[in-house]
Amino acid sequence: MGPLPPPFTWTHLWQWHLGWVPCLLLLGALGCYLVGVARTPSWSAARTASFVAGIVVTFLGTQSILGVYDMVLFTDHMIQHLVLIMIAAPLFAASAPLDLASASLRGAPRRWVDGFIDGPVGGVVLHPLFGFCAYAAFIPFVHLSGIMNLTMEHLWLHHLEQIAFLVVGYLFFRHVFGIERGPQPLHPGLRLVFLMLAVPIDTITGLALDMTSHNPFPVYNEVHRTWGPSVLQDVHTGGALMWIGGDLLMLLAMIPAAVLWVRYEDVKTKELDARLDALREASA
């Protein structure tokens, strides 16, 4: 754990916590994606914009003021988690990075990517059930176990945790968008159910933190922070943020999912009407 930052005030909103390793990783990911786009002329501009937005959100979530206080305030830590798994990760999922890799790579790298997507490993990892179970297990594991203390004590583990939020969020939300190649695509109606089933995960985890009578993260006692809320109050606020903020973000994600379902059913209805009209004309 690094030196204690100054007491938080609203004048600190423009502070930055720039780390050369995270910045290089983000620039490297952006560079690889843009090279893939350059090699795939027909690639969707909307997907490219989604990936760029995901990089920007990840940068702001880890290197801005959120990165300055994420090792000191649990509330800040929770905001960072929500930003990564419920904003940045869906943006990456909407950018279809695996499809771009398959379309832009050549030779052995492309065979490796296609082998992963269409092979037994991809059949498990990219399956909707795996994405849901990963999300359902990861959220309470990170916030209700001793792993949180370890991430506070080891910066490298903290960075791995941030990457894990992006990966787990991507594996979950790729099935909500349903635009990327993979096993067992969900029916548009089931995508809405998929999101609804995930809501209690954040709710229960957030309520457990909000209602706890003791500090579940002893490492915060070692920070020796003399300003701001008490550690327990901080944990309660973070839990409330996960409960309310997480549910709200899931609700917002349900809106486009519902719209896509309605559009899907409208198209299917028109196709059915066209087939019925053709049958009536044929029998006339």
The angle that helices 231-240 and 188-210 make with each other, rounded to 10 degrees, is 160
Mean pLDDT of the chain: 88
In this prediction, residue 23 carries a pLDDT of 93
Q: Are 230 and 237 in contact (CB under 8 A)?
A: no
Do 58 and 88 touch, CB atoms closer than 8 A? yes
Instruction: Please compute Rg for the chain using Cα positions.
Output: 22
Task: Spell out the alpha helix ranges (H) of the chain.
Answer: 20-38, 45-63, 65-69, 74-83, 89-94, 97-104, 107-118, 120-125, 128-144, 147-153, 155-177, 188-210, 231-240, 246-283
> Domain residues of the chain, as ranges?
12-283
At 133 the pLDDT is 96
**So what's the pLDDT on residue 7?**
76
Taking 70 as the pLDDT cut, the residues of the chain under it are 1-3, 224, 284
What pTM was estimated for this model as a whole? Answer: 0.89
CA proximity to 76, closest of 220, 197, 179: 220
Question: In the structure encoding, which two tokens stand for residue 190, read together?
Answer: 């089931």
Per-residue exposure over 252-271, b if at least 16 CB sit within 10 Å of its own CB, e if not = ebbeebeebbeeeeeeeeee
**CB-side neighbour CA atoms (13 Å) of 230:** 6
Residue of 256, 250, 255, 220 whose CA lies nearest to 236: 220
